[in-house]
Every structure is written in structure tokens, then in C-alpha cells.
């Protein structure tokens, strides 16, 4: 096994090769291009700093950046294109980082206010998740997110139960069963579903589903987690179908042909070969659909009661009160003080949850590529 190990100095040699390549790039780059790149980079940094401090001199930095870019594009187009792609990528990462810092900074005061003690250790924000009182203006003052987290979980579970099986089944039909003519009709239809604004789904649910549910199940008022989850599940369906179909289509045709050559039916091949081989990609599709359901705002805001409470019993899906997204959408207009910070705390919970799901979907997609030999690295 020792001959298969990487030599101990490979890492150092790799760094040396990169340094040498960087030096050769600098030596081969015309001085005018380096000067334009330096001016453009400093001007871009000046634009960012000026924007953050709200300085009127920001326009001068922006003008210098545009001038440097115009000169570079006219004289050194290829180098300028490379520099711009790098600058835009770095800017995107920087902006995302600043947004993350801003959200956490704005939420921190309410985390301090709602601190709790566990075994003598002060835990910031503990009462946000261990109490059920949301009362920003009347005594006792409280900013619990537990009812909204419960509502978000209920809607997400129902939406996943809808979008998961239906999405995978639709992807399997489009990718493996449907004739070309039907496929050309169904795929655009699924994409159209993704393009319909969420407020339209919410309005249909509010005017049709909610009144019907109120009469059919003898409910007091409108808004149930069950039917909000159904609507959100339909909204997440195009995401699941699209990603799952890509995963199914990535399964090598030789695997399917080999199974059919052994005498199996089309259904046996799909269930025993195609789906297991594409399981990582299908799992990623469902995770992305779950992320879509968690972050849905307008449908939940329109259809739910928007009152922070817990149903009795907790698993009762025939009543619906509030989710994290509907809390932010319904209260940000008149929120101030710690209530405003509490809305940012709800945003932090959503941000961390969706980020974890996105990272998880990327991990399972990478696993699928490795298993199918798509990325030998």
C-alpha cells in the first residue's frame, strides 16, 4: 500500500507549481494591463467601502472602475474578461458574507434578551425555542419562535409528503416511460408551474381550498396546515421533478440495457436499477423541494391565521396559525425594537435551515457523481 500513497512532498510541489505559474502570468502580462487591473481592483474596493459608509465619493470610485474596465476591454480583452469573472465571483461571495453578518448582527439583541440558563451556563436565545409566548407589546413580554417553528415543520412535512412521491413519480414518467411527444408537452407544463407567482397559489388556496375545508371539517375560521402544505407541495413539485429527472437521466444506459437483457420488465428495471442508481440525486431533489417549502412566504401568509399559537394536539393539521415566513411577512411593517430583532432571529433560523438543506443536497449530488463515475477527481 505504501507505493499507492501520495509522496510526502506532493503538496509542497503543487504549491510551488502554482507560485511559478502565477509568476509566469505576471511576467507575461503587459504592464498596462497590470496597471489597469490594479486601478480597477482598488476602485471596486472603493465602491464597496463607499457604499457601506454611504459616501458621496462612491460615484468617483465607480467612474474609475468603469474607466479601467473600458480601457482593459479595448486593449486587453481576454485578460479583462478573466479579471472581471474573478471580481464578480469574489464580490458575490463577499456580498453573501455581508448579508449573513448583517442578519446575525440584527438578531443578536433578541438572542441576548431571551437568554436562558442550562446547568449554570448562560445560553443566548434559549427562551426563543423553549417557551411559547409571543407578546411583543403586552405583559409578559416574550418573543418565542416555537409556535412558528412548529407551523413551519407541519407545513413542510405535508408539502414533502406531496412533492416527494409525486415529483419522483413524475420524473420517472418523463424520463423513462413517456413517449417523446408526451414528454415535450409535459416538461413545459411542469416548468410553467414553477413560473406561476406564489401569491396566485395562495389566493387560490384562500378562496377555494380554505372555505371548502372550513365547511367540510367544521372548522372555526380558515387556514389549516394540511391545505397550506398541499399548496406549498404543488409549488415545490417543479423543483423536485426537474432535479430528479436530471438524476434519472444521468444513470448510464448500459445499466438499464443490461437489466433488460437479463429478462426483467421495464418496471423492474426502473425500481431495481434506475431508482437505486439515482437515489442520491433523487434525495437531493427532495431536499431542494423541502427547502422550497420551508422558505415559502406568500401562500402561508395568505392562507393562515397569522396568530402565534400551538394547535391542540400538536399533530393537529386541521388548524393553522403561523410559520416563520408568514411571521416576517405579516409583522415587518410595524415592528420596532426587540420585535424587529425577533423577526431577524426568525430569519436566522430559516437561513441556517435552508443552508443546511442546500449543503446536504450538494453532498448527495456529489456522492451520486462519484458512484456513477461522473467525477473521478
Of the chain, the percentage scoring pLDDT greater than 90 comes to 6
C-alpha cell at 346: 426568525
Q: What's the confidence (pLDDT) of residue 374?
A: 47
Least confident of 10-14, 70-74, 369-373: 10-14
- pLDDT 10s digits, 121-176: 888 888 888 888 888 777 778 888 888 999 899 999 999 999 889 999 988 888 88
pLDDT digits (tens, 9 = 90+) for 292-329: 888 888 888 888 877 888 888 888 888 888 888 888 88
Mean pLDDT in residue range 174-183: 85
Number of CB atoms found within 10 A of residue 105's CB: 11
- Residue identified by cell 479583462 is 80
**Res. 375: pLDDT tops 70:** no
Give the pLDDT score at 10.
Answer: 53
Say which range, 172-186, 333-347, 354-368, has the weakest mean pLDDT: 354-368
Three cell numbers, residue 153: 415543520
Tell me, what's the pLDDT at 260? 81
Question: What pLDDT was estimated at residue 12?
Answer: 59
CA 225 to CA 280: how far, in whole Å? 29
**Domains detected in the chain:** 2-112 (no CATH), 145-372 (1.10.3720.10)
pLDDT of residue 104: 93
Amino acid at each position: 500500500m505504501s507505493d499507492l500513497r501520495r509522496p510526502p512532498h506532493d503538496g509542497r510541489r503543487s504549491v510551488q507549481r502554482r507560485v511559478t505559474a502565477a509568476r509566469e502570468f505576471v511576467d507575461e502580462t503587459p504592464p498596462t494591463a497590470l496597471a489597469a487591473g490594479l486601478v480597477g481592483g482598488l476602485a471596486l474596493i472603493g465602491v464597496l467601502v463607499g457604499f457601506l459608509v454611504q459616501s458621496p465619493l462612491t460615484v468617483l470610485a465607480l467612474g474609475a472602475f468603469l474607466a479601467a474596465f473600458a480601457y482593459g476591454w479595448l486593449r486587453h480583452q481576454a485578460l479583462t474578461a478573466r479579471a472581471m469573472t474573478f471580481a464578480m465571483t469574489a464580490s458575490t461571495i463577499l456580498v453573501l458574507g455581508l448579508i449573513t453578518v448583517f442578519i446575525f448582527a440584527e438578531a443578536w439583541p433578541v438572542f441576548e434578551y431571551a437568554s436562558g440558563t442550562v446547568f449554570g451556563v448562560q445560553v443566548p436565545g434559549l427562551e426563543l425555542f423553549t417557551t411559547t409566548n409571543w407578546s411583543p407589546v403586552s405583559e409578559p413580554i416574550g418573543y418565542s419562535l416555537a409556535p412558528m417553528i412548529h407551523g413551519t415543520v407541519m407545513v413542510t412535512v405535508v408539502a414533502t409528503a406531496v412533492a416527494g412521491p409525486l415529483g419522483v413519480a413524475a420524473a420517472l414518467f418523463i424520463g423513462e416511460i413517456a413517449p417523446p411527444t408526451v414528454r415535450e408537452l409535459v416538461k413545459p407544463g411542469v416548468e410553467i408551474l414553477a413560473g406561476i407567482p406564489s401569491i396566485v397559489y395562495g389566493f387560490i388556496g384562500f378562496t377555494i381550498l380554505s372555505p371548502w375545508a372550513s365547511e367540510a371539517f367544521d372548522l372555526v375560521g380558515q387556514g389549516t396546515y394540511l391545505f397550506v402544505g398541499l399548496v406549498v407541495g404543488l409549488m415545490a413539485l417543479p423543483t423536485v421533478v426537474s432535479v430528479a429527472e436530471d438524476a434519472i437521466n444521468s444513470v448510464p444506459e448500459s445499466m438499464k440495457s443490461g437489466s433488460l437483457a437479463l429478462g426483467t420488465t421495464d418496471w423492474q428495471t426502473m425500481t431495481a436499477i434506475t431508482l437505486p442508481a439515482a437515489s442520491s440525486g433523487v434525495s437531493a431533489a427532495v431536499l431542494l423541494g423541502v427547502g422550497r417549502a420551508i422558505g415559502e412566504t406568500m401562500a402561508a401568509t395568505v392562507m393562515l391565521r397569522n396568530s402565534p399559537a400551538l394547535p391542540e394536539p400538536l399533530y393537529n393539521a386541521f388548524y393553522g396559525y403561523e410559520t416563520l415566513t408568514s411571521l416576517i411577512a405579516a409583522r415587518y411593517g410595524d415592528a420596532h425594537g426587540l420585535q424587529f430583532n425577533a423577526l431577524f432571529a426568525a430569519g436566522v433560523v430559516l437561513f441556517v435551515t435552508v443552508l443546511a438543506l442546500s449543503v446536504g443536497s450538494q453532498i448527495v449530488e456529489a456522492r451520486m457523481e462519484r458512484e456513477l463515475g461522473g467525477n473521478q477527481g
